[in-house]
Amino acid sequence: MKSKILRMLHESCGFVSGQELSDRLEVSRTAIWKDIKALEADGYVIEAVRNRGYRLIEEPDVLTKESCETYIDTEAIGKNLIVYDKTDSTNNRLKSIGEEGAVHGTVAVAELQEAGKGRLGRSWVAPAGAALTFSILLRPSVEPAKASMLTLAAALAVSEAIDELTGLHTQIKWPNDVVCNSKKLVGILTEMSADMDSIHYVVVGIGINVNITEFPDELKTKATSLMLETGKRVLRSSLLAEVLKKFEVCYEKFMVSGGFAVLKSDYEARLANLGRIVCVLEPGGEWRGECLGLAEDGALLVKADDGSVKSIISGEVSVRGGYGYV
Ligand code: BTN
């Protein structure tokens, strides 16, 4: 009920009377008062004025079920929400409850991951309380080969959500890093359980550097955060809700059309290296070429020096800018 009270306080520009809250939520005014006190204990600053009611003055940047549900406005993605204060990895949590049958769209969020995972077997470290680390469980009825396109869809959704909320102009470093001013803001790790011809579930894990003010020396030139780029704090619960909303739209488009082609032009409009020289690092060696955009299946098209156009599929291949990380 606390999230319903918060939602009503948000929706109103001024005061909401205790009577209106109790009528709409069908509970006593005493129950409302108790929940208001509980919200205050959670860090919300709520003004209470006799004969006028309650007004939200300030909200803490915490990730709780209430804070997230206040903002989430989707049909399926995030309707089942699990919030951890601390866990190993939200991807691991969803994989384990995915095995037990958790519903499509289940989202797991953590204030702190103690064993966050990155791509290519790396770890993903984010300080408690300053990052947004979460995963989405999906059960798409498409062939397993298309699962990697969901990662591209997620990168697009995150980039769109960040721009909408902050006014930044983020870009995507293929396949799935969201970058700003040539530094990484977001990492995405997708994992899948499937057999030969059907997907059991896909877990899309997203880590966003939100209110991080400092990175270790070795990352300073490569990583950034929303706080460093905008100079302002971003409320992580509202960012989560915006990402889920944008992702739901991208996911629906992907499912209805049965592929990535429908998202290709939006993705390319954000592609950091479009028309530039990129360096393709393959297990067998590295080579340079001009980035031409994406194929309909989400592969990166790179024109080699001999004029041939190669289709790069994500996996063990890394693509960097010709002259730096992006
Ligand atoms: C990368 O290497 O760029 C991908 C990083 C993905 C990190 C996110 S944080 C939430 C989810 N849980 C994990 O353990 N990893 C992903």
Element housing 288 (H / E): strand 285-294
Instruction: For ligand 1, atom 2, name the residue with the nearest CA.
Output: 118
Q: What per-residue confidence (pLDDT) applies to 316? A: 58
CA of 131, closest atom in ligand 1: 9
Q: What per-residue confidence (pLDDT) applies to 284? A: 84
- Over residues 138-150, mean pLDDT: 94
Beta-bridge partners for 49: 53
H-assigned helices in 137-290: 147-166, 226-230, 236-257, 261-268
Q: What per-residue confidence (pLDDT) applies to 11? A: 86
Confidence of residue 138 (pLDDT cuts 50, 70, 90): very high
Judge whether residue 326 has pLDDT over 90.
Answer: no
Kindly provide the residue ranges of all beta strands, DSSP E only, lying in 93-246, ordered along the sequence. Answer: 107-113, 131-138, 171-173, 177-180, 183-194, 199-209
Separation of alpha carbons 61 and 59, rounded Å: 7
For 79-135, write each residue's pLDDT tens digit: 999 999 999 999 999 999 999 999 999 999 999 999 999 998 899 999 999 999 999
CA of 118, closest atom in ligand 1: 2
Judge whether residue 318 has pLDDT over 70.
Answer: yes
Average pLDDT, the chain: 93
Structure tokens at 75: 């049909």
Q: What per-residue confidence (pLDDT) applies to 262? A: 94
Judge whether residue 322 has pLDDT over 70.
Answer: no
Judge whether residue 323 has pLDDT over 80.
Answer: no
Q: What per-residue confidence (pLDDT) applies to 1? A: 80
Structure tokens at 188: 């995405």
- Over residues 29-57, mean pLDDT: 91
For 68-80, write each residue's pLDDT tens digit: 999 999 999 999 9
- Over residues 54-73, mean pLDDT: 93
Q: How far is the CA of 207 from the centre of ligand 1 (A)?
A: 5
Residue 99 DSSP one-character state: H
Q: How far is the CA of 173 from the centre of ligand 1 (A)?
A: 16
**Cis before 175 (ω within 30):** yes
Q: How far is the CA of 112 from the centre of ligand 1 (A)?
A: 12
Max Cα distance, the chain (Å): 78
Could you give the percent of the chain with pLDDT greater than 90? 83
Structure tokens at 78: 């995030």
Q: Is residue 183 a contact partner of residue 225, using CB atoms and an 8 Å limit?
A: no
Q: How far is the CA of 238 from the centre of ligand 1 (A)?
A: 20
**Crossing angle for the helix pair 147-166 and 261-268, to the nearest 10 degrees:** 40
For 253-286, write each residue's pLDDT tens digit: 999 998 899 999 999 999 999 999 999 988 888 9
Ligand 1 first shell, C-beta below 6 A = 89-91, 113, 116-119, 122, 124, 133-135, 177, 187-189, 205-207
